[in-house]
Structure 1
């Protein structure tokens, strides 16, 4: 990191000095300060120095089998030297050095974003050692340590609240400043701020494993990939440079005019676009991060604007994903507590919302249950747990039947009737007997209705809901939100298959899910969007875009940011095209020669760059 910083400072210092020297040399040339011989010698010397970084960049492009604008600049510089157009070559170097400084400015904005995130890590924290809390450096914390944070303090780790109560500001991660109450048993995340109250927190993740550090790594990755940030710039560079070379060959073939050829290359040198397009996308990626939208590269912002179909996993995305127990129905000699006890055992290690709801309910109502010695979960079907030679089973009725559980027709009809009413019904078995069922209801997120309307306005033509629920439940939820397409009784592997069938060459398909159960489907789509991923390593790794809040409206916001960015990118191409046409008229009309073309290009370079920099001031 220090070596990279030193190299960056060196490059900026080199280009700043080079610009100063080039400007001074141009001034002495036009003021005729030196004799012709000395003047030419000085011009050649600074041209050669300025040529070195251009040749290096061109060599790297050729080695990587890429056609870059630097290659065109190198050709123009060499042509200027051959034609003995020393002032033109100086202007080219001046133009390229300015572009490199702006490129470094782009990188520095990303580095500042990283530095601002790093400042959210406190240097010291109070850690429990023996019976007392002592102040230690944050870097010395280990998993399992208990730390104390008071009002005004930032939490340096991811952990669980052991005691106390506080109001927490998570805006550093989510972009939302609405305080959240935290008490015993709640999860807290690194970099979040304790507004009021105090907490004792048991450390679960430290250092590179914390949510903050994961986000920092994503920002770093986006900054490193800035030269390959968007497909539109890559396509432009390839075709434009090939076209320019062909046009240059035609000019020299038909006119035999080396000065006209040089003027053409100088006008055509699109180094401004080479910097302006990545600059625009990087500015938007940084803005999105401040809004709790982590984009792993500008190319995903570009792809978002082409999305016509959004596939959404229901649980935790359109609904709150936190099922509430509506009813517990025991069968035979068993009671409600028995049904809940065995359901809690069977789902003890499960991440399924129904299992979490059962365990929370059992704890809240003082229903004791034992931790199973053996546990198995079949995604999309259910789970089993074994204790003292007996097996508890929870899941779909078909799954229970596969395991030999006896279910009567009357029991099936009773459960089916509730399913038809839109409830989620989970049967529970112990041994080979069905001992009852639990009825759940999942609440639709109020913002889902608004989000669906926003997405349709932004050009998303199809929104498809996937759910493991039965058709009646799926239909009820979809219609309440405004979604007309849905797939019910979907298993995790079915999601991947559905996405694979939907992906096509005509339009882009995005998938939004929780990033854990949906990881494979997210990876298979054109753009994978993980919802509410704070604290989830799997989600951050699985998605192309990670939303730090459980708010589907953030998808619409990300599309808006992408559209704003693409609008600026196309504006920059339009600006460049108009300027280039004017330049071509001037050179083919013989109004300006190579020196004038170089000066014209240098002065007009700043138009698209200034336009792109508007995105750094982007508002909500």
Structure 2
């Protein structure tokens, strides 16, 4: 990183170090018998702090914002003019230190779209006569014929030209199971090819395709979110007029400007400057220890008053990967034996359902064998030899074409269908269909108590917002106990749900929780966006205010609890600190507390406030 860029990013920390160094150096000069040099060091410290502070306050006032910095500016300017240089330098250290803490707390609050743009397809394979040429995706025009290889992202919106295709749309639509497409079906950019290579005819250019529209949605959502007023500034609106009234009254009644200065020095809002940032930094640290990385204190403040939590389904409330829900074995075959044979073959398959089959077999403690002579048709199935048996795993029609005949007892099995978010994987053994594995996306075990935990933490409404079909969404919602369900929602419609909740006075602030690309716009617009990234970091992490780094959705309730407790401690520290400062201001107004003594008393108040704020570190 270039030095000038590093200095710009850490300017507040550098100012704090400079203010502390100048104040200590000035004090050392006084102790060494060089008071003039010490005074000049304090003057330099004050001026060096006042210049950027004045510019910041003027800029804030031009926008109609009154904050804690204005009181500090008046105190430091008064100390410089009145010759109370030590008191002014101490105020400068407190102000610069508080700003540095706040910069540290918000240092990770960068809303970048880099991951979203990085995930976007960069090249496409376009037909050129009888050959395929690799071209920049931006050069693709409507009507071009493209080849999408296995595992690649679809570069532009188009129409399928091949007979069949298997599409993984989980990151865009939220559907956890692969979608089987046939010739003529429309496919969306940003989805992935989960099967064999296929051809499509582009219907739009890259700039007009679905994925580019999603990027623009995230950008607009981020700019739509209004600026946030920090806790300290909200209290400063009340504290500022009280301070100015007391200082003016003390000067008017006594005729001594030094009393007004003493009031301003004691009133320097160090409890506001220090208490809230320290409590927030402590809360951020506490959250990180629980696997919740918050991108700044603003997110923690909003979590502390959250009233609505919106949850995505796939990968958030559910595991996001299909698992074996039921085994239907034909002709009296043992179900575990059937699963072991299927999982043995699927060890060599890259299909999304194969991973779930292998995982479930291992979870049940079944012994798997390394298959031989494997032959896979991506998207359709795989055939191999396992322990002397010819075993096929895949779709029923494909297995029949591979020579596996329907079993005599197959009609005696339980009624089977692929509705309700389920997929059927047929298994053939030794030339006969031996059974069916019913696959479904299961709710997370820790999701069962999530709603109750959120309600107990003070959240009024917990709802699901998903792109999956209503039947599947309703089943999951019933198992988890959600208050409301929004199913079959596009990214634009998810935005509308978040926007409507934020406009309702009793439902905001709004927390949105998701893990996929389709959640990114809603995460960006919500008051707090939380991304689940336990196993893989997705684009949602870039659009969110917080990332849960462990694979547990119940950490959402923990984040709300930490936010509530942190803000309670921060408010307590601020109010107690302000109360003590007001008492000291009254004493200073009557002339019993000179500026330097007032600055030192303020330090004692600060220590008490800091110790209380640090309680947010504890569970």
* CA shift in 2, pair 1:77/1:533, >3 Å: same
Instruction: Please report the TM-score for the alignment, with normalisation by the length of structure 1.
Output: 0.57
User: Does residue 65 in structure 1 map to residue 83 in structure 2?
Assistant: no
Could you tell me how far apart the structure 2 residues matched to 1:13 and 1:27 are? 21
Q: 1:94 aligns with which of 61, 68, 90?
A: 90
Q: Tell me the secondary structure at the aligned position of residue 51 of structure 2.
A: helix
> What is aligned with 2:537?
536
* CA shift in 2, pair 1:7/1:593, >3 Å: closer
Could you tell me how far apart the structure 2 residues matched to 1:472 and 1:534 are? 27
Check the 8 A contact 1:19/1:94 in 2, yes or no: yes
Check the 8 A contact 1:95/1:602 in 2, yes or no: no
Could you tell me how far apart the structure 1 residues matched to 2:482 and 2:535 are? 27
Check the 8 A contact 2:318/2:444 in 1, yes or no: yes
Could you tell me how far apart the structure 1 residues matched to 2:495 and 2:599 are? 54
* CA shift in 2, pair 1:317/1:13, >3 Å: closer
| Alpha-carbon shift at residue 449 of structure 1 (Å) | 1.5
Alignment of 1:34-433 (within 5 A): 44-62=39-57, 64-65=59-60, 69-82=68-81, 84=82, 86=83, 88-97=84-93, 100=96, 231-237=230-236, 240-241=239-240, 244-245=243-244, 247-249=246-248, 251-252=250-251, 256-324=255-323, 326=326, 368-370=375-377, 419=419, 423-425=420-422
Check the 8 A contact 2:247/2:264 in 1, yes or no: yes
| Alpha-carbon shift at residue 453 of structure 1 (Å) | 1.9
Could you tell me how far apart the structure 2 residues matched to 1:306 and 1:348 are? 45
Check the 8 A contact 2:71/2:240 in 1, yes or no: yes
Check the 8 A contact 2:305/2:564 in 1, yes or no: no
> What is aligned with 1:147?
none
> More deviation in 446-455 or 529-538?
529-538
* CA shift in 2, pair 1:523/1:533, >3 Å: farther
> What is aligned with 1:605?
606
Check the 8 A contact 1:511/1:525 in 2, yes or no: yes
Q: Tell me the secondary structure at the aligned position of residue 535 of structure 1.
A: coil
| Alpha-carbon shift at residue 104 of structure 1 (Å) | 5.7
User: Does residue 446 in structure 1 map to residue 445 in structure 2?
Assistant: yes
> What is aligned with 2:582?
581
Check the 8 A contact 2:491/2:518 in 1, yes or no: yes
Could you tell me how far apart the structure 1 residues matched to 2:24 and 2:590 are? 33
> What is aligned with 1:518?
519
Bigger relative contact order, structure 1 or 2 (CA pairs below 8 A, ≥6 apart):
2
Q: Tell me the secondary structure at the aligned position of residue 282 of structure 1.
A: helix
> What is aligned with 2:558?
557
| Alpha-carbon shift at residue 463 of structure 1 (Å) | 1.1
> What is aligned with 2:498?
499
| Alpha-carbon shift at residue 448 of structure 1 (Å) | 1.0
Gaps of 5+ in 1: 112-227, 330-339, 373-391, 395-413, 429-436
Check the 8 A contact 1:273/1:608 in 2, yes or no: no
* CA shift in 2, pair 1:247/1:294, >3 Å: same
Check the 8 A contact 2:271/2:574 in 1, yes or no: no
Q: Tell me the secondary structure at the aligned position of residue 518 of structure 2.
A: coil
Check the 8 A contact 2:98/2:277 in 1, yes or no: no
Could you tell me how far apart the structure 1 residues matched to 2:233 and 2:370 are? 58
> More deviation in 465-474 or 52-61?
465-474
Could you tell me how far apart the structure 2 residues matched to 1:364 and 1:498 are? 49
Q: Tell me the secondary structure at the aligned position of residue 311 of structure 2.
A: strand
Q: Tell me the secondary structure at the aligned position of residue 302 of structure 1.
A: helix
* CA shift in 2, pair 1:544/1:22, >3 Å: same
Check the 8 A contact 1:318/1:444 in 2, yes or no: yes
Q: 1:19 aligns with which of 23, 29, 39?
A: 23
Q: Tell me the secondary structure at the aligned position of residue 301 of structure 2.
A: helix
* CA shift in 2, pair 1:328/1:2, >3 Å: same
What whole-Å deviation, never above 9, does each CA across 1:544-596 have from its counterpart, x for those lacking one?
11111221111111112212221221122122122113202312344333343
Could you tell me how far apart the structure 2 residues matched to 1:348 and 1:495 are? 31
